[in-house]
Structure 1
């Protein structure tokens, strides 16, 4: 099992410095962002790498002697967004990441299943949360048709390149729970599409990542180590689907998601928060999580994703790495 870091939190520094941070944490992998919602900061010469052996070899040489190797590529985005400026770019980022993975000797690409609009001609995605009425099922029927067509095609591309695509079970996507994974595989017959098990998004939905891993077994291809704390008093009042987000202005620091979409400010009295490992679930839980993943694939990559807004970049990584290494040591899953 390889423990590492998803590099988005280290986009503030060049790749060699990011690799040193990961190595200093005592970790051996780095998951490299290659597009989608975020720019490919640490692969600036991607187009050259795709066509030039020299460019590819120069890029891989950056990792030599660092003790850190690539642990998958990540292009999380919405490849099915009904706005072409977003959807087509994110879809092409997935295809390009699959080709790049093959060029770099990698066999894992992490992304999301996507979320279309609710009907032909829509301009915004439509996430059906609770399909109790027939109109909502009509929306889902349309969306699943779009999803199946895209992932059949993408699965063929992945198979042609010897790459497996791991879908993060992220809300505001059509595929966000165990039943959706099964449905996607049944509809598409996919052989090179599975799951990136990001525990955090399962926690706040009241799902158990360990139970999900056991249920999906070999469909789990990669994992993200990110914790969630439920703020019980706020959750009791607002529920975990609270929409008290604030729109950030152009003058404020905000993250671009593509086209005309931006990240909003997190609710101040939030029902739940992303936190560093150990701040939501103890080391014993993460030990069980790693043990189950190791049973599925002893070589699986598990990468820390740091989004704890109360901690600095390095501080948060240090806390998470400490918990992850202690958990791994307690169940003997490191190579």
Structure 2
């Protein structure tokens, strides 16, 4: 198993410095953002890598003797967005990432399933959270038809390139839980589309990531080590479906998500928060999580994603890495033959 870091938190420094940070943490993998919501800071030459083996070789040379290797590409975005300025771009970023991954000898690309509009002619996505009425099921039928067509195409492209695409079970996507993951595979017959098991989004939905791993089994292709903390004083009033976000103004630092869409400020009285590993679930839980993943695929990549606003980038990675390595040590104590490779 490879333990690493999703590199978005290290976009403020060159690739070489990011690799040193990861190596100093005692980790050995880097999941590299390759487009979608975020720019591909550490792999800007995607098309050249896919087209020219010499360029791919030169890119890979940057990892030699660092102790860190590529642990997947990540182009999280909304490839089904009805606005082509966003949807078409994110979809093409995914195709480019698949081709580049193959050229680099990588076989995992992480993304999201995407979310269309609710009806023909829509310009904004429409997330059905609770389909208790017939109109909501009509929307879902329309969205699943779009999703099935797109992911059938992507499955074939991935198969042609020897790559597997792992979908993060993330809110505001057609696929955000175990049932939806199985439904997509049933609708498409996909063999090269599966799941990236990011525990954090399952936690706040009150699902158990370990149970989901054991249920989906070989449909899990990749994993993220990311924790959350429920804030009971707010959750008991507002539940976990909390829309207390604030729109950021153009003169404030904010992240563009494509076109005219921007990330909002997290609620100040949030029902739950992303936190570093250990602040929501202890290392014993993460050891159980590792055990479940290892049983599926000993070569699984498990990468830290840091979004804890209470900790700085390096501090947060240090906290998470210590918990992850402790969890690995606990698991290895029960399975001495387990290796990190």
**Shorter-chain TM-score range:** over 0.9
Q: Which residue of the partner structure matches residue 31 of structure 1?
A: 31
Structure-to-structure mapping, 1:1-335, within 5 angstroms:
1-332=1-332, 333-335=338-340
Stretches of structure 2 lacking an aligned partner (at least 5 in a row): 333-337
Q: Which residue of the partner structure matches residue 335 of structure 2?
A: none
Secondary structure in structure 1 of the residue aligned to 2:221:
strand
For the 8 Å contact 1:328–1:334, the answer to whether it is kept is no
Q: Deviations over 1:85-137 (max 9, x none)?
A: 00000000111100001000000000000000000100000000000000000
Question: Cα distance, 1:160 vs. partner?
Answer: 0.3
Secondary structure in structure 2 of the residue aligned to 1:126:
coil
The whole-number CA distance in structure 2 between the counterparts of 1:49 and 1:330 is 39
**What is the TM-score when the length of structure 2 is the normalising length?**
0.98
Question: Cα distance, 1:57 vs. partner?
Answer: 1.0
Figure out how many residues of one structure are paired with residues of the other and give that number. 335
For the 8 Å contact 1:34–1:73, the answer to whether it is kept is yes
CA RMSD for the aligned pairs?
0.6
Question: Cα distance, 1:44 vs. partner?
Answer: 2.0
**What is the TM-score when the length of structure 1 is the normalising length?**
0.99
The whole-number CA distance in structure 2 between the counterparts of 1:228 and 1:61 is 36
The whole-number CA distance in structure 2 between the counterparts of 1:280 and 1:334 is 26
For the 8 Å contact 1:227–1:280, the answer to whether it is kept is yes
The whole-number CA distance in structure 2 between the counterparts of 1:188 and 1:44 is 32
Stretches of structure 1 lacking an aligned partner (at least 5 in a row): none
The whole-number CA distance in structure 2 between the counterparts of 1:281 and 1:108 is 27
Question: Cα distance, 1:55 vs. partner?
Answer: 1.3
The whole-number CA distance in structure 1 between the counterparts of 2:184 and 2:56 is 34
Question: Cα distance, 1:210 vs. partner?
Answer: 0.2
The whole-number CA distance in structure 2 between the counterparts of 1:224 and 1:243 is 25
The whole-number CA distance in structure 1 between the counterparts of 2:33 and 2:125 is 23
Secondary structure in structure 2 of the residue aligned to 1:84:
coil
Secondary structure in structure 1 of the residue aligned to 2:86:
helix
The whole-number CA distance in structure 2 between the counterparts of 1:334 and 1:227 is 24
The whole-number CA distance in structure 1 between the counterparts of 2:52 and 2:299 is 29
Question: Cα distance, 1:141 vs. partner?
Answer: 0.2
The whole-number CA distance in structure 2 between the counterparts of 1:313 and 1:330 is 26
Question: Cα distance, 1:313 vs. partner?
Answer: 0.3
Question: Cα distance, 1:47 vs. partner?
Answer: 2.2
